[in-house]
Each structure stands twice: as C-alpha cells, then as structure tokens.
Chain A
Amino acid sequence: MKRRSLFLTITASMGFIFLYAPIIALIVYSFNKSKLVTVWGGWSLKWYSELFKNQQIIDAALVSLKIALVSASLAVVLGTMAGFVLSRMGRFRGKMILSGWITAPLIMPEVITGLSLLLLFVAMEGMFGWPAGRGTGTIIIAHTTFCMAYVAVIVQSRLASMDETLEEAAMDLGAKPSTLFFLVTLPLIAPALISGWLLSFTLSLDDLVIASFVSGPGNSTLPMVIFSKVRLGVTPEVNALATIMIAIVAIGVLVAMYQMRRQTKLTSE
C-alpha cells in the first residue's frame, strides 16, 4: 500500500511539473536582458518597457478588451435566457432543436464556426447590405454566439441543481413570472452568471481562429497580433506580455481559491 502511494505521488508531481514548467520558464525569461531568448544575460525589465512602447500590441489589446467586454455581457444575457428556457419552461415545440443548437457550438471545431460565420456575413452583406464590411461588430456577434452556449450550460446546470421551493413559494404568494424571475431566480443563479461571464470574457480574449475568419482589415485582435509575431519565432516582448496576463489570471484564481478554502474549512468544522 505504501509503495503504491509513493509511485502515485511521484507520477502526479511529474504531471504538475509538466503543467507548470513551461509557464515558469516563460516568466523567468521575460526578465532576461539578452535578446537571444535562451541565453541568460541577467535580470532586466527591458522587454516590459518595449512592450508598452509597442503601439500595435496596445491597440490590439484595447480592441480585444472591448470585444470581450461586450460579447461576454451579451452572451450572459442570451445564454441565461437559453438556459432558463431549457430548464424551467417545460415542453414546447422546437425544444429539442434549441437544446441541440445550444450544445453544438461547444463541440464544433473553431475553423468550421469561423468559416461558416464569415460566409454568412458575406452572403448577408450581398443580400441586405448588412453587416457592411467586417470588423469589431462581426467579431462580437461571433464571440457572443459561441460564448452564450457555455453560459447556457452553466446556467442550466445551476438551475437543475437548485431547490425549487423558493420559486414555488413566490408563485404561491402571487408573483408574476417576470417578478419571480428578477426577484427570486436571478439572485439565486447570480454566482453562475458571474462564472459564465468570466468564462466568456476569457474565451473571447483568447480566441484566434474565429476572430481571424470574421475580422476585417485594421481590426486585429490581440491573439491575431501575437500569432503573427510568434509564428516567426520566440520574441521576448511576447514573453513579457504573457507574464502580465498570467499574473492577472493567477491573482484572480488565488483569490477565488482562498475563498473556497475558507468555505470548505467553515463547512467541515
């Protein structure tokens, strides 16, 4: 019994090293003075100042943030509606189709989603003159579409695991459906909406493939700029950018983890 648990600890630790070694190396080398990415030339913040002087990267980051904010918010509204319809509205015609459409974007290869949306936009422009050209607007539509599927699934599972008695009580006390939703259901599923929004925001900020298909000239998102830079090889500026992004996410997750840990301690005591 003892020997197996040692074996388990070793293999699992190797797994964690595998998960973290490249990230740690990336962070360390972002502080490297030398331009040659693998030769260590002493500590320096040179690449960070270079990064903030790079107007192309800053512009792209702003475009990406704008798209992520808008599409995450739209995705939460539409995804919540979809998740709610599927788990609380009983049977209706077309329900199977809707639930199929909700889960399909989750397993659709990105290249297909990107291509199909681009072809739709081109066809629509030919027919009604909208959307005129492609850019931020078309990327927002595309990101909203695949993010709302994630939100819908999160909301649906939250509603499914939720006790219905509070909603029943509100109904018994004469609440109209809209009152019931906004005053009872919505506050109860708020945590699911927050994680859905965060997930959508991250997915949108990170998407390269779909954005490349549906964006227009002069509307490069951050992943598109990073991709065109790293395709040619490793660049220290991108290391610096990656470090900043990883730091932000790590702080967020650490805060969440601290809270969860406190919660589990409280409940187990």
Chain B
Amino acid sequence: MGHGQQCGFDLMSIPSGSAWIDKSASGMARYNLFRGVNWGRLGVIAVPGLWLGIFFFIPFLVVFKISLSESAIAVPPYSAMLEWDLEEAYATFKLNFGNYIYLFEDTFYLDAYISSVKIASVSTLITLIVGFPIAYLIARSKPSMRVVLLSLVILPFWTSFLLRVYAWMGFLKKNGIVNEFLLSTGIIDQPLIMLQTDFAVYIGIVYTYLPFMILPLYTALEKMDLTLLEAAEDLGSRPYQSFFLVTLPLAVPGIIAGCLLVFIPAVGEFVIPSLLGGSDTLMIGRVLWDEFFLNRDWPMASAVAIVMLVVLVLPVMLIRNAQGKEEVHS
C-alpha cells in the first residue's frame, strides 16, 4: 500500500470519530502475556502518560490556582496564594473569588461567551449547507474522480491557516477584489464594508473549517446503500422526498461529527475574529487573549479560561463520548 493512499485514509479517519472508540477490550491483549511486574511494559505506558500529565493535565490545575489569586504588579503578575511568614511561624492562605464574581457581574464577559456560541453555531450551520452538496457530489462520482476531488478538498487544509485567513483580507477589504468586481459590473455603486464585520468572521470560519465538515459527511454518504434510493423511487418517491427521507437520515452520524469538528475550534477562535472581525466582534478567545496580552491580568485570563472550560469544552467532550459509545453499541 502506497504512502499516498494511507495519507488519504488517515486524514479521513480523524474526523470520522471511530478512532476514539476503544477497541482493545476484544481480547487484543497480545502484549499482555507477560504478567507480573513488567518494567518494559510499565515504561511504555509511563512515558506518554507522564508527558501528558505534566504538560497537559497539571497546567489546568495551575490555571485554576492562579484564577483564584489576585492580580499584582509583579513578576509574574499575580499574588501568591500561600504565604509563609517564617519569623512569626504562620502561613496565610488567601482565596480570591473576586475574578469569578467580576466575570458574572460584568455583562461584557457573558456577552462574549454568548456571542462566541452564536457565531460558532451560525457558521457551523452555514458550513453544513455549503459542505453537503460537495460531499454528496464526491460520494457519487467515479472512484478515480473521488480521489482528485477529495485531494482538492484536503489541499487547503494542509496550507497555512493564518495565510488562508489573510487571503480573505485582500478579498473583502474596501478596495479589495470583491468590491472592485461588483463596482466594475455596476451591481453596486459604492464599495460595501465587509472586512471588520461579523459577516467577514462567518466567511472566515466557514472557509477555514469546510474540509472538517466535508470529510465526515463524505464518509457517511459514501457508505450509503444506493439500492435504498432505487427502492424509494420504485415506491413512487420524488427525488426531493428521497433526499429528505432516505439520504439525510442516513447522513446524520456524518452531520453530527462534522458539526462538532467545526463548532469546537470555531467557538474558541482567536485568529479569525482578530484579523477579519471588527472591534465590536466579541469572541471569548479574543477576550482571553486581550486580557492576557494587553491588560496583563493573568488571574482574570485564567478565570475566563476556567469558565470557558466548564461551560464550553466539557459539554462538547460529554457529547463526543456519548456519540462514541453509541457507535460501539451499533
């Protein structure tokens, strides 16, 4: 099997969601024959485990700790939670919930969370509408053509994300290509303001994450049994009826996987709103960035991150897990 082919299949196996299913329970424990204390085995488990524990899990505890401390003009810019006074031999332990209280009192943050969810959901829906015909076309074309079309979908995904967002700046700005074209054809008589609006953010998200939607949709549509459509036609179903009553329900797993893959990165997006959005485009990723880099308020940025984790990331993880389990059962 050639590398190229493997590349293609692996790229598709990421979004399909099946990789998260734990398949090892089915008696695959060949390496498990050496029972007792097996240092080799322990080492192989411990190395990636320790790495992720130190560099992925513990950082969240640190973020949580710092979110409970006070902002201070110091290096690093926060106050210590636990202070030892050696002369008096006592320790002061300070917990500061001020950041969280402020987070809920100031509607700015709440608005930013809501606006992120809104922007991410709307653009996920648009991505689905744009991506479905493409995925459908690919799934119904000849096998050799499929490879070409799939590569065309994947190609932009391998090029720099930052540069693809940047490409839209040249496209959408006041004297940009879209405006020049519309002006020259006489459709409009003065340039439209598109860059630095929410509209540009929607375009940016749809554009960036379209491959993430198309690949799982394609996987679902390609698996579909075409004789079902013939049966529907024989029974007198019109094409649009077959589409809504047969094709669409069968594509639901792909739709869910695709929507999650678009919604998850979109909701915490920083680059797209800051390059394409206006100063009034509120997204929580950008708020966290500004809190950290502009205000240098590390505890507040940490509190924003913790709330984001609990409100936005955890529910998505739970949905994903539930979906994975369903796939195992079916």
Chain A interface residues toward B at CB < 8 A = 1, 4, 8-9, 11-12, 15-16, 18-23, 25-26, 29, 37-38, 78-79, 81-82, 84-92, 94, 98-99, 101-105, 107-112, 115-117, 119-120, 122-123, 126, 141-142, 144-145, 148, 150, 152-154, 156-158, 160, 164, 167-168, 171, 177-178, 180, 191-192, 194-196, 198-199, 202, 205-206, 208-209, 212-213, 223, 226-227, 230-231, 233-234, 238-239, 241-242, 245-246, 249-250, 252-265, 268
B45 within 8 A of A: yes
Q: CB distance A115 to B63 under 8 Å?
A: yes
**7 chain-A/chain-B pairs, Cβ below 8 angstroms:** A16-B152, A19-B210, A168-B30, A242-B163, A254-B151, A258-B4, A263-B2
Interface positions of B from 37 to 70, Cβ below 8 Å from A: 40-41, 44-45, 47-49, 51-60, 62-63, 66
Q: CB distance B31 to A116 under 8 Å?
A: no
Q: CB distance B313 to A112 under 8 Å?
A: yes
Q: CB distance A259 to B4 under 8 Å?
A: yes
Per CB-CB distance, the 5 closest pairs between chain A and chain B, nearest first, are A109-B268, A90-B29, A191-B6, A259-B4, A116-B59
Q: CB distance A177 to B170 under 8 Å?
A: no
Q: CB distance B309 to A112 under 8 Å?
A: yes
Q: CB distance A115 to B159 under 8 Å?
A: no
Binds A, one of B83-91, B95-103, B128-136: B128-136
**Contacts A25-B167, A119-B63 hold; do A192 and B30 have CB atoms under 8 A apart?**
no
Interchain pairs with CB closer than 8 A, number? 326
- Closest chain-B Cβ to A237's Cβ sits at a distance in Å of 12
Interface size on B, as a range, is 35 or more
Quick one: CB contact mask for B179-199 with A, threshold 8 Å, 1 for yes?
010000000000000000000
Q: CB distance A117 to B133 under 8 Å?
A: no
B111 within 8 A of A: no
Bound Cα distance from A208 to B164, whole angstroms: 13
Q: CB distance B169 to A234 under 8 Å?
A: yes
Q: Which residue of A lies closest to B38 (CB)?
A: A177
**Contacts A123-B62, A195-B11, A208-B271 hold; do A85 and B45 have CB atoms under 8 A apart?**
yes
Quick one: CB contact mask for B230-241 with A, threshold 8 Å, 1 for yes?
000000000110
* CB contact between A122 and one of B18, B22, B76, B156 (< 8 Å): that residue: B76
Quick one: CB contact mask for B154-176 with A, threshold 8 Å, 1 for yes?
11101111111011111101011
Q: Which residue of B lies closest to A10 (CB)?
A: B133
